[in-house]
Amino acid sequence: MDELHADTWLISKGRPQGLGEPLNVPPVMASNFRLPHERYYSRTEGTETQGALEELIGGLEGGRTLAFSSGMAAVACLFHGLAVGSTIALPRDPYHAVNGLATEGEAQGRWSVRRLDLADTAAWVSAAAEADLLWVETPANPLMTVADLPAICAAPRKPGCVVAVDGTFATPLLQRPLELGADVSMHSVTKFIGGHSDLMAGSLTVRDDALYDDLWNRRVRNGGTIGGLEAFLSIRGARTLGLRMERAMANAQTLAERLESHPEVAVVRYPGLPSHATHTNASKFMDGYGAMMSFDVRGSGERASRVVEHTTIINNATSLGGIESTWERRALIPGQETMPPTLIRFSVGCEHVEDIWSDITEALDATSGA
């Protein structure tokens, strides 16, 4: 990434440079281009807007990026490149759509899945000798476990075994998996990189040219290429990622500490708390603890529902990583029924921390005894 700091890179790169050109690459809304030209169709070569987004993310991560129409389009592109009969190592509680994809492929006989405790590094190290894909989601959604990525990446591997990391919660600002030895870094750009809950997008970043070409070709065939408007909005969001993360992380740390000592809260899972089971991994392998947490309220699942419905600043909504705070009772999301009934997943936004805190305490007070 040249010698620039990441924040500067995000603000200054991916811009047209010629005299008289606009400062921002415009949203190129075209499916096809006049020939002869190397770019002829948007699903194949993409648009200039897509190229600028890929330059931004790739520079941060230290690799070549492919942008997709969603995070899951990116994940599916990678999984569907596995040879029939492959083995995938997966965390026990991965993002639920990834779990669905893996389970479906297993049922169809495409691959077999080994489910491992993300915090059990030894299990991942031994899986590397037998698996074709290690899918490491870190920090994990929504239990916030942070893996020992360098140890997992350094494990002796079966030839051809790929280590892929879903770092959506961390963003490339806080965690750069390729630098830690992974082969693929994946993001749901829908979340923090986009940052405004107004788009769907995903990315895969790799260093290996053969893997890049393989993914590029499969993206063409699967049709997961990002649209021009989504690429434009992703770039616009990414410009302020540094600023947003700084504020949201400071808010998250304060709120996690206060929640942890609140009598109506049973447990708080935030990697920035010394009490968190994988706090040490987060301190060693991340450049900040992020803006995601989950916590359990005391009482029943119904009480947790009433808490998330009570607030006026924090939105009761799924998804995460927006400038606005969102939270949800995770066990109500299809595919997440195994989560503790009282668990609230909280994406901390950039509002004033005292306003968020008042919103939370009012909701806890109003529902106490429920």
Ligand X SMILES: Cc1ncc(COP(=O)(O)O)c(C=O)c1O
For the chain, what is the largest distance between any 2 Cα atoms, rounded to a whole number of angstroms?
71
24-33 contact pairs (CB < 8 A, 24+): 24/232, 24/235, 24/236, 25/49, 25/52, 25/232, 25/235, 26/232, 27/228, 27/229, 27/231, 27/232, 27/233, 28/228, 29/228, 29/229, 30/228
Interacting residue with ligand X among 51, 63, 91, 202 (CB under 6 A): 202
Hey, what are 39's tokens?
Answer: 């770019």
The least distance separating ligand X from the CB of residue 255, rounded to whole angstroms, comes to: 20
132 versus 166: smaller Cβ distance to ligand X: 166
When CB distances to ligand X are compared, the closest residue is 71
Q: Which helix (H) or strand (E) holds 276?
A: none
The least distance separating ligand X from the CB of residue 147, rounded to whole angstroms, comes to: 13
Interacting residue with ligand X among 152, 173, 200, 350 (CB under 6 A): 200
Selected range binding ligand X among 69-77, 225-233, 244-252, 303-311, rule: CB under 6 A: 69-77
97 versus 243: smaller Cβ distance to ligand X: 97
Asked if 121 interacts with ligand X (CB under 6 A), we say: no
Spatial contact of 93 and 115, defined as CB atoms under 8 Å apart: no
Interacting residue with ligand X among 148, 166, 264, 328 (CB under 6 A): 166
Concatenated DSSP letters of 169-225: TTHHHH--TTTTT-SEEEEETTTTTT-SS----EEEEES-HHHHHHHHHHHHHHT-B
197 versus 305: smaller Cβ distance to ligand X: 197
Residues 180-199 touching ligand X, rule: CB under 6 A, are 188, 190
The least distance separating ligand X from the CB of residue 110, rounded to whole angstroms, comes to: 20
Selected range binding ligand X among 29-37, 66-74, 76-84, 325-333, rule: CB under 6 A: 66-74
271 versus 299: smaller Cβ distance to ligand X: 271
Selected range binding ligand X among 68-76, 101-109, 229-237, 352-360, rule: CB under 6 A: 68-76
Concatenated DSSP letters of 351-364: S-HHHHHHHHHHHH
d(CA 41, CA 21): 23
Sheet of 326-329, strand order? 265-269, 292-297, 343-347, 326-329, 315-316
The least distance separating ligand X from the CB of residue 320, rounded to whole angstroms, comes to: 6
Per-residue binding string, ligand X, 268-307, x by CB under 6 A, is: ----------------------------------------
CA dihedral sign, ordered 284, 285, 289, 295? negative
Spatial contact of 165 and 71, defined as CB atoms under 8 Å apart: no
Interacting residue with ligand X among 168, 205, 311, 336 (CB under 6 A): 168
Interacting residue with ligand X among 58, 71, 172, 341 (CB under 6 A): 71
* Size of interface with ligand X, in residues (CB under 6 A): 14
60 versus 77: smaller Cβ distance to ligand X: 77
Selected range binding ligand X among 70-78, 100-108, 299-307, 334-342, rule: CB under 6 A: 70-78
The least distance separating ligand X from the CB of residue 366, rounded to whole angstroms, comes to: 29
Half-sphere exposure of 297 (CA within 13 A, CB side): 28
Half-sphere exposure of 321 (CA within 13 A, CB side): 27
Spatial contact of 159 and 86, defined as CB atoms under 8 Å apart: no
Per CB under 6 A, residues contacting ligand X are: 70-72, 95, 97, 137, 141, 166, 168, 188, 190, 200, 202, 319
